[in-house]
Structure 1
């Protein structure tokens, strides 16, 4: 069985295996890797593919929504966002940090978040219920200088369900 979609083309295979699609899109002057995958094509609906395609078409809005979640997370107890900022500030030298920060409003944490670069968005169209991870956005402040990522997980409605730090 295969799935044919207007945006993604033909997905899947004759033996009902894994669904995978990838492409790079532009966000501002940066390239962002986008992938879509599911271990089982039978669990992927056309509606879920339509939602993923809409999110890709409005990648700027998705990025803004995720960054708003990061700002809101700053004040939470055990903030993953604050943990990421602290970790990366300890890793980067002054020159790398100066090159990474593209905003200078005087609020260092907000400038840091506004300077984050979206590296990758992974879509999981088989996760469409409740708080499942439908979209996973990987951010880095300086991909050449640190492996640390700030990860925002969104559900099928575009609501943030988790924020984590990965190295």
Structure 2
């Protein structure tokens, strides 16, 4: 079976009924891998695909929303964002300024501004549910696959949570 959508084209399911779509999306000076997946195409509605397409099309605005949410967590000393920032400061030490894209003097702000959006995964079968509909992966170093922040999003694009991958 297959699902057809204006943005995604024809989404064919594998023998197990799962669907998967992937593409590189450019925004600003970044190129991001975007995946759409669902374990059973029967659980994916046209509305879910419309919402997914809107999130992808608005990825630049979504990225700005996510970064503002991360900044809001900086004042909480127990947040995953604060932990990540402290880990990066410790790991880079005096070389931190070399990886930052903007230096304002506030290390937390500078690290969040300098994070690269590595990927976005849309869990199309979670539309309308309580579990994350999309997950955005951020890293200060594009080669550090384990040292990332994962941002869980609802289907309306609001941030549910931010957590580190480790």
Q: TM range, normalised to the smaller chain?
A: over 0.9
TM-score normalised by structure 2 residue count: 0.92
In structure 2, the residue corresponding to 1:82 is in which secondary structure?
helix
Distance 1:14 1:136, change over 3 A: closer
Written as runs of structure 1 = structure 2, the 5 A alignment for 1:1-167 is 1-13=1-13, 17-76=17-76, 78-95=78-95, 97-144=96-143, 147-167=146-166
Q: Is the 8 A contact 1:92 1:145 kept in 2?
A: no
Q: How many angstroms apart in 1 are the aligned matches of 2:161 and 2:14?
A: 35
Q: How many angstroms apart in 2 are the aligned matches of 1:133 and 1:146?
A: 21
Q: How many angstroms apart in 2 are the aligned matches of 1:42 and 1:16?
A: 11
Q: How many angstroms apart in 2 are the aligned matches of 1:101 and 1:136?
A: 24
Gaps of 5+ in 2: none
Gaps of 5+ in 1: none
Moved more, 103-112 or 86-95: 86-95
Moved more, 129-138 or 22-31: 129-138
Cα distance per residue 1:101-120 (max 9 Å; x no partner): 01111211111111111000
Deviation, structure 1 residue 78: 1.7
Q: How many angstroms apart in 2 are the aligned matches of 1:135 and 1:13?
A: 20
Deviation, structure 1 residue 42: 0.3
Cα distance per residue 1:102-151 (max 9 Å; x no partner): 11112111111111110000001111234321110000011235630011
Q: Is the 8 A contact 2:13 2:20 kept in 1?
A: no
Q: How many angstroms apart in 1 are the aligned matches of 2:148 and 2:74?
A: 16
Moved more, 43-52 or 141-150: 141-150
Q: How many angstroms apart in 2 are the aligned matches of 1:22 and 1:116?
A: 22
Q: Is the 8 A contact 1:2 1:16 kept in 2?
A: no
Q: Which runs of 4+ in 1 moved over 6 A?
A: none
User: For this pair of structures, how many residues does the alignment match?
Assistant: 166
**Backbone CA RMSD of aligned residues:** 1.7
